[in-house]
Amino acid sequence: MNLRPKLMLAFILLIIIPMIGLGIVSFLHSETLLEKKYSGQTEISLKAVGGNIRYFFRELDQLSDGNLTSPEVQDTLKYSTNTAGDASALIKINQAEKEMNRILFQHPAVSFVVLYAKDGTMFRTFRNDPTTFKPISFDLLQQHSAYKDILRLGGRPLWIGPYEQRELSGVEPPLFTQIRLVKDIATFNDLGVMVTQYKTEEVYGMLKEFQNPESDGEETRYVIVNKSGLILLDSRKEIEGESITGYTDALPHNTVSYASSREKFGSVDSLVSAYQLDRNGWVLVSVKSWNSLTNENVRFVQWIGMITVLGLLSAVLFNVFFVNRVAKSIIKVVRKMRLVEQGLLDIRVSANGKDETVLLANSFNSMVERIGNLLSEVRREQERKQHAEMMLMQAQIKPHFLFNTLESINALAAQNEGGKIMLMVRRLSNLLRASMHHSEEIRLSQEIEHVRSYLDIQKYRFEELFSYELNVQEEALDYTILKLTLQPLVENSIQHGFEGYADGEGVISIDVSTTRHHIVIMVSDNGIGMNAETLRKLAFGWHAPGKQPNEAERGERRGLGLRNVADRLRIHYGPAYGLWVCSEEGSGTTIRCVIPKSRGDLR
């Protein structure tokens, strides 16, 4: 280790680290004390809010107790509508509902009251508040899972919070729902069921009363959750009906009495506290941003930060004035060398002076320039080699096309089929026109016409051994493709796929589609397929490891079919493109060809 890092290391170990460590320990200790302090304050607030909420629900329970024995409920449920649909029965139901209006004015929170008689008759009354809730029929209520709880409670109230049982309590606006079994006060027989819904404004008011925005500029958020974590009420009315587990990992809904911890709520560091309400397992949760609680620590943190910055500034000045220019020059060369390792060969080091650092910089510049020249020469040689290899492959394909076509024409001439010969010669001219095209790439529409001509010729030659289908997206026709790509693929199906097939049994399908950046061509047949060994040889031929074969071995192994097409595509478009073959004996063969979208020089 040279002098400069030694001095810097000593300064960091003896001054900076002890100073920062002392600040961190002090800060963490103060954070712990603050968490305990605010946790205690939050417990007092939660108990106060929870007490108000419990008193509110006890008041509603007492009100409901009186309603169960009131004439409005008892007399209404004793009335039976055995003549359903009778005009007099409807009039009596309407009169009973008007009598029930008195229940609404017993407490401002009462919003909706529904009575179900044992015979299924429904009596309801409600305020003119906006609501979309529609009570369900008595038959559906009896089938609901909550009905067993109603019977089990035997007249005691069953409370359902907003969003808990949406088919019973509705969603908009959020309401607390109380369901009770009504018994005859004389015989204690079951008369029916009373459903009362209460507005949540009073509970919202209790929560907002303790938010205290004026104390620190940020309100405390209060939410009420049930035992499964569903958020029933939110003081900000933003996350109601959602699961609290999507916002925190603290699981406050499992709180037995009181719990408080520093957790992430959403993406905000917060103090999350929970208090059991002892009502249906509901839990009152408060969420306070930790930043708003620790405002009093800001000055302390700023003081520590200022000392740290002054110490770092001293270290920088110490480095500048006590480390000599030679060390700086060496570091400069090392940094430039790292950039050269990343492939930036235009990097040069500037040096001034008359000492050895200038010689080091000049040697570095000369070395980088020499490396750049050698890499450029290797790149040019590789491009020439790839171009020559591609031209050789294309030259091999043209005689192969002509041989197969003339063989077909010769067979027809022997059968004196003059008309068919004329059509085949016309198709042959299309093949030769595409094969001898001056450009390496042609439009996909030309390539499709080329392979169509080839398939028609082969159908004549093999006496309708197969049929073919062409499905091409219109959008793909204007893009370019390496010429003579599809013909070897369909030739593989005809020459090897339909061996032993009767006339008309073979089917070749060519599908051309486009994606965002690629053209995908699928060539499928229902032929005899390939075994695993054949597929392995094909893959070995495309990506043969080990030594490079000589020219004679290259021509014999790659041949004029699938391997040749795969090599041409790989050389022309790059290693990310080419052919993928999927086949199984007796199940046909599918060849997938992927090339990039390009219009080449034809735009």
Q: Tell me whether strands 258-265 and 578-583 are parallel, antiparallel or unpaired.
A: unpaired
CA neighbor of 454 nearest in space, from 476, 434, 475: 434
Same domain flag for 295 and 163: yes
**Which whole number is the average pLDDT over 243-264?**
85
C-alpha separations of 430 from 369, 408, 424, 457 in Å: 52, 15, 10, 11
> Residue 400: which pLDDT band, with cuts at 50, 70 and 90?
low
Q: Is residue 578 part of a domain?
A: yes
Residue 160 has pLDDT above 80, yes or no: yes
Q: What is the CATH number of the domain that holds 67?
A: 3.30.450.20
The dihedrals phi and psi of 398, each to the nearest 5 degrees, come to -60, -50
Is-contact 263 248, C-beta < 8 A? yes
Measured CA to CA, the distance from residue 599 to residue 223 in angstroms comes to 60
Domain containing residue 440: CATH number: 3.30.565.10
Structural domain span for residue 83: 39-302
The answer to whether residue 33 sits within a structural domain is no
> Range with the lowest mean pLDDT among 47-56, 126-135, 318-327, 402-411?
318-327
In percent, the amount of the chain with pLDDT more than 90 equals: 7
Average pLDDT score over residue span 335-360: 73
Tokens representing 5?
């890092």
40-44, 390-394, 567-571: which has the minimum mean pLDDT?
390-394
Per the CB < 8 A criterion, the answer to whether 19 and 334 are in contact is no
277 and 410 fall within a common domain: no
Chosen domain end from 248, 281, 302: 302
Q: How many Å apart are CA 287 and CA 303, to the nearest integer?
A: 29
Q: Are residues 276 and 386 in the same domain?
A: no
User: Which range, 44-53, 339-348, 505-514, has the best average confidence (pLDDT)?
Assistant: 505-514
pLDDT at 508: 92
Q: Are 297 and 403 contained in the same domain? A: no
- pLDDT tops 60 at residue 324: no
CA–CA dist 431, 452 (Å, integer): 9
**Which of residues 267, 286, 302 is at a domain's end?**
302
276-280, 427-431, 454-458, 505-509, range with the lowest pLDDT: 427-431
More confident residue, 379 or 468: 468
Q: Quick check: is 330 in a domain? A: no
In a domain, 339, yes or no: no
396 has a pLDDT exceeding 70: no
Confidence of residue 554 (pLDDT cuts 50, 70, 90): very low
Give the integer Cα–Cα distance in Å for 164 and 158. Answer: 12
User: Is 219 a domain residue?
Assistant: yes
Closest CA to 106 of 169, 62, 161, 52: 62
User: Taking the alpha carbons of 584, 590, 593, 594 in that order, is the dihedral positive or negative?
Assistant: negative
Mean pLDDT within 229-256: 86
Considering the domain architecture, whether residues 384 and 279 belong to the same structural domain is answered as: no
Cβ contact 86:79 at 8 Å: no
Q: 19 versus 524: which is more confidently predicted?
A: 524
Task: Of 212-221, 434-443, 575-584, give the lowest mean pLDDT range.
Answer: 212-221
Query: Which stretch of DSSP H or E encloses residue 178?
Result: strand 175-183
Least Cα distance to 424 among 466, 461, 397, 451 occurs for 461
Residue 126 lies in a domain: yes
> What pLDDT score was predicted for residue 596?
93
Predicted pLDDT at 374: 85
Model pLDDT, residue 401: 54
Q: What is the pLDDT of residue 514?
A: 93
More confident residue, 354 or 52: 52
Same-domain status, 277 and 411: no
Q: If you search the block for the tokens 């790989």, which residue do you land on?
A: 570
Residues 78 and 172 in one domain: yes
Q: Which residue has the higher pLDDT, 261 or 359?
A: 261
DSSP single-letter state for residue 438: S
Largest CA distance in the chain: 119
CB 565 within 8 A of CB 580: no
Per-residue pLDDT at 83? 43
Mean pLDDT of all residues in 138-157: 88
Long-range contacts of 30-38 (CB under 8 A, 24+ apart): 30/297, 30/300, 31/294, 31/297, 34/293, 34/294, 34/297, 35/262, 35/271, 38/271, 38/288, 38/293
398 and 256 together in one domain:
no
Do residues 289 and 393 both lie within one domain? no
Question: Which of 278, 302, 326 is at the close of a domain?
Answer: 302
For residues 297 and 384, membership in a common domain is answered with: no
227 within domain boundaries: yes
Total domains, the chain: 2
Alpha helices of 344-417 — where are they, by DSSP H? 356-414
| Mean pLDDT, residues 394-420 | 67
- Of 399, 488, 476, 411, which Cα lies nearest the Cα of 443? 476
- Judgement on whether residues 221 and 81 belong to the same structural domain of the protein: yes
The total of other beta-carbon atoms located within 10 Å of residue 3's CB is 11
Of 6 and 257, the structure prediction assigns the larger pLDDT to 257
Whether 278 is covered by a domain: the verdict is yes
pLDDT digits 0-9 by tens, 533-551: 888 877 765 544 444 444 4
Tell me: do 400 and 542 sit in the same domain: yes
The terminus-to-terminus CA distance of the chain in angstroms comes to 62
Three-state SS annotation for 218-235: CCCEEEEECCCCEEEEEC
Q: Are 3 and 302 in contact, with CB atoms under 8 Å apart?
A: no
pTM over 0.75: no
The residue with tokens 């925190």 is 248
Indicate if the alpha-carbon torsion angle 524, 530, 535, 538 is positive or negative: negative
Judged by average pLDDT, the poorest of 41-45, 82-86, 176-180, 451-455 is 82-86
